Chains A and B, each alone.
Chain A
């Protein structure tokens, strides 16, 4: 075999070709070294920053909002911890590949996930995007089991708003939601960032600053799978302020229960202070649903619901006051001097005024009626004459002075001012002259007159205490130490009424309930209840449709009351939409509320409030003179 080596001894031709190899290799090594020099010397700061961003993660610690309590300190709204599934954009490997599996695993809609990602497009990518709230055990298990496949998913324990069930007090409490891009642009939300939760309506909105806590954060070292390996720094979150409302949960509950399956509103006030004791609007919504990220479809459905559950009928809906307005007319007439306790008109069931035939209810008429009987029996003809004598300008003047046609200033957003028509208003808004016949309609609370239930109860309650119209409020400084609320200095309106006026009006309203008038059903055995019914005919598109209770065009039934007759401390307005006559449908609800209020006060004080035995006879003494007067 040796012969082979003979031919292979000469290596010259190979050696000649080695330098090319050497130069090639040397060149490549220099290029590589240059590559490292560029990355490690020139670009080093940039990569150090990237490495730091890999390593350190800022984890927001969300502060819980302050709790909301009722006047006795009972919790209405609090927070609960709930698991949320968050998408960490920094950890996304390939969302196109994983999104379907994630959507299926969490029971979400692919489009909804993408929608949320788009919504947070402009936020820093280290900020988690919550894609599922109130995650259940199965969701948590899914995320934990797929840590490797979907490192972009993270479980976060976040505080969530916990509202009463069944939409109780939904409109007064309001709801919270994500801060919108428009809000972020505005000054008052300047220190918020996308993903933060803010109050969107109700008390949650008005007192958002107080209720909002201060979020904390922690800076942690995380490994490539996002697991915490150590903590660098932690700033604890500070919970929001606790807010005590003037609302009495017991009254609110009774009101809610009596309004079950009914549409309308209830407002309960203390006319002496302006404290709102209960306020509700039906149909309601469930604020718990808003606490999460409501899907577009669900939001649309609520927005477009013909029953308008989001509308707070107590302060945002403009209703015709109907016969309740007669109290305003009577007060105005007596203050203007056009009506006296001895004024009487003849009611024949109909009357011709300014060329139009106006009706009373009941067909044959009330005969000759004085002021007291006119209120008790709600005689239209009497008040047509009052209105005719007063004229629209004076009606409008007194109505405004008595608290109608302007916002009450309650600490809830988007209050409606209502409307008290005047010739000037008609010229400006409708470009038409005022017809005298309209004055007649206005006299019984029809025509263009529009009021909110809150306005009406404040007005009648204010008249009952001599013409002081307290600014209604849900939160006051006395109950919330150290908090300066918008109502710490309430803007009360005073329009001193003559004692005889107050006396006569109160006596009339007492008669409505206690002398076989239209509001008999609101009567209480121990307390002198005063009230006034109202029934508003609902007119369908152009034509008067058969008015049946419960139907779409059924009458709205009003009942506005206060008690006790002397020194009233509670005023209630109830309107039931399409419910029928106010005396039939609304007076019993007022009855329930007043019964609860006075039972609680005299017989069953709240367990944790010590029995005030000395207070009892005093309260009873207040109601006695009233009952004596009835005998007179």
Chain B
């Protein structure tokens, strides 16, 4: 029953929006790095985007049912990579996240986001027509907790947190009952304080900073404070390309990666912000439409898993920029500089396009 799909069913509009976002990303990376030691990074990003498009194309061509079939293998492969990171990963700024050497390294935790989407899609799709029970929850819990723990140990809280929206979306669509939601919610509330002790000191710092971001603008709240200044000073129309003082003079930290949206906000103003947010909303809601028309439950769960992952990144990243959320270290999909993230995002959107191409047509 595997469908070939046809090019006429390919969603060119979605691809166009994705390319627009990637293009904006290149421009903003150029603006935020041109006068720094990272100058030229936009070209590297450009090659990553090209590579991402290639991978996306492959992800579109291979029938997603074929991929779903090999989920157990993918899952085992992914866990193996995470274990390898633990054993022989490269250290950077106190955490081991990369496999490989120098520029040619990948972040297995990034790849695992997709593996988890596929794993949960298969699990939830193949449950018989019965209500979601505690046994399911337990089984899913095991599947999630293993990679989650491995990634948390790197430590990479930001990536580990992205598992929650994927899981939540899956549980919701699988028909979780309110009673269970409440019970789970209470359980999480009880466990949360324990989590505090698992966090590394810098992670606690970030949370504390978020809680009192205005108390100490020159201390740990520096990043958020400077980011807000960049955003606020951008005004309606922005200061113009290459003209943001917060950007140019280096007041916004990590401005070509996690804080790149503050550069957009400062240089392109509120209008630029609305354009970019609209593009993201377009990608998200158009993808959700593809979930509705999916041929089968696999398709629904894959698309909605990707949507959850993608939307979570956008919302958390943008929320951090304006101080709505603590600093988590989550990049803005398609825009932030970073190879692994670009590849993962293109692969994920490739899966959405894949499902759409093989949609159910009357």
Which A residues form the contact surface with B (CB < 8 A)? 1-2, 4-5, 7-11, 13-15, 17-18, 20-22, 25-26, 28-29, 31-33, 35-37, 39-41, 43-44, 46-48, 50-52, 54-55, 90-94, 221-225, 229
Q: Which residue of A lies closest to B295 (CB)?
A: A9
Given contacts A28-B315, A29-B277, A40-B270, 4 further A-B contacts (CB under 8 A): A8-B125, A41-B235, A91-B218, A224-B226
Contacts A7-B128, A28-B315; A51 near B277 (Cβ below 8 A): no
* Distance in angstroms between the alpha carbons of A103 and B125 in the assembled complex: 64
Enumerate chain A residues within 8 angstroms of B292, measured Cβ to Cβ: 15, 18
**Interface contact A36-B265, CB-CB below 8 Å:** yes
* Distance in angstroms between the alpha carbons of A287 and B129 in the assembled complex: 94
B348 within 8 Å of A (CB atoms): no
Min CB–CB distance A219 → chain B (angstroms) = 14
Q: Which residue of A lies closest to B249 (CB)?
A: A223
Measured as residues with beta carbon below 8 angstroms from the partner, the interface class of chain B is: 35 or more
B300 within 8 Å of A (CB atoms): yes
**Interface contact A48-B297, CB-CB below 8 Å:** no
Enumerate chain A residues within 8 angstroms of B175, measured Cβ to Cβ: 13, 17
Q: Give the interface SS of chain A, mostly helix, strand, loop or mixed.
A: helix
Q: Which residue of B lies closest to A152 (CB)?
A: B218
Enumerate chain B residues within 8 angstroms of A39, measured Cβ to Cβ: 228, 231-232, 322
Enumerate chain B residues within 8 angstroms of A28, measured Cβ to Cβ: 311, 315
**Interface contact A32-B249, CB-CB below 8 Å:** no
* Distance in angstroms between the alpha carbons of A2 and B296 in the assembled complex: 13
Q: Interface digits, B216-256 against A, CB 8 Å rule (1 contact, 0 not)? A: 10111010001011111111100000000110011100000
Min CB–CB distance B306 → chain A (angstroms) = 13
Contacts A5-B65, A8-B298; A51 near B315 (Cβ below 8 A): no
* Distance in angstroms between the alpha carbons of A91 and B311 in the assembled complex: 36
Contacts A9-B296, A17-B172; A223 near B291 (Cβ below 8 A): no
B324 within 8 Å of A (CB atoms): yes
**Interface contact A10-B297, CB-CB below 8 Å:** yes
Q: Interface digits, B60-83 against A, CB 8 Å rule (1 contact, 0 not)? A: 000001000100000000000000
Considering residues B175, B218, B236, which has the most beta carbons from chain A within 10 angstroms of its beta carbon? B218
A-B contact pairs, 16 of them (CB 8 A): A5-B296, A7-B126, A8-B298, A11-B299, A18-B291, A21-B172, A22-B285, A31-B324, A32-B277, A32-B315, A39-B231, A39-B232, A40-B234, A41-B236, A51-B246, A223-B250
B residues 277-308 with Cβ under 8 Å of A?
A: 277, 280-281, 284-285, 288, 291-292, 294-301, 304, 307
Enumerate chain A residues within 8 angstroms of B284, measured Cβ to Cβ: 25
Contacts A4-B126, A17-B173, A32-B324; A41 near B270 (Cβ below 8 A): yes
Contacts A33-B277, A51-B229; A2 near B1 (Cβ below 8 A): yes
Enumerate chain B residues within 8 angstroms of A31, measured Cβ to Cβ: 324
Q: Which residue of B lies closest to A4 (CB)?
A: B126
B26 within 8 Å of A (CB atoms): no
**Interface contact B288-A22, CB-CB below 8 Å:** yes
Enumerate chain A residues within 8 angstroms of B265, measured Cβ to Cβ: 36, 40
**Interface contact B129-A7, CB-CB below 8 Å:** yes
B residues 308-362 with Cβ under 8 Å of A?
A: 311, 315, 318-319, 322, 324
Lowest 10 CB-CB distances: which A-B pairs, in order?
A: A47-B232, A51-B233, A224-B250, A8-B297, A40-B270, A223-B249, A39-B232, A44-B235, A47-B233, A55-B245
* Distance in angstroms between the alpha carbons of A145 and B354 in the assembled complex: 55
**Interface contact B296-A8, CB-CB below 8 Å:** yes
Out of B128, B216, B245, name the residue touching A54 (CB < 8 Å): B245
* Distance in angstroms between the alpha carbons of A44 and B231 in the assembled complex: 8
* Distance in angstroms between the alpha carbons of A222 and B175 in the assembled complex: 57
Q: Which residue of A lies closest to B252 (CB)?
A: A224
**Interface contact A14-B301, CB-CB below 8 Å:** yes
**Interface contact A47-B245, CB-CB below 8 Å:** no
Contacts A11-B294, A37-B270; A21 near B288 (Cβ below 8 A): yes
**Interface contact A36-B322, CB-CB below 8 Å:** yes
* Distance in angstroms between the alpha carbons of A151 and B249 in the assembled complex: 15
Out of A9, A25, A48, name the residue touching B232 (CB < 8 Å): A48
B27 within 8 Å of A (CB atoms): no
Contacts A5-B296, A9-B296, A40-B265; A46 near B232 (Cβ below 8 A): yes
Q: Which residue of A lies closest to B298 (CB)?
A: A8
Out of B269, B294, B304, B319, name the residue touching A32 (CB < 8 Å): B319
* Distance in angstroms between the alpha carbons of A41 and B235 in the assembled complex: 6
B273 within 8 Å of A (CB atoms): yes
B274 within 8 Å of A (CB atoms): yes
Out of A15, A32, A44, name the residue touching B300 (CB < 8 Å): A15
Enumerate chain B residues within 8 angstroms of A47, measured Cβ to Cβ: 228-229, 231-233
Enumerate chain A residues within 8 angstroms of B246, measured Cβ to Cβ: 51, 54
Out of B219, B235, B324, name the residue touching A35 (CB < 8 Å): B324
**Interface contact A36-B231, CB-CB below 8 Å:** yes
B34 within 8 Å of A (CB atoms): no
* Distance in angstroms between the alpha carbons of A293 and B277 in the assembled complex: 56
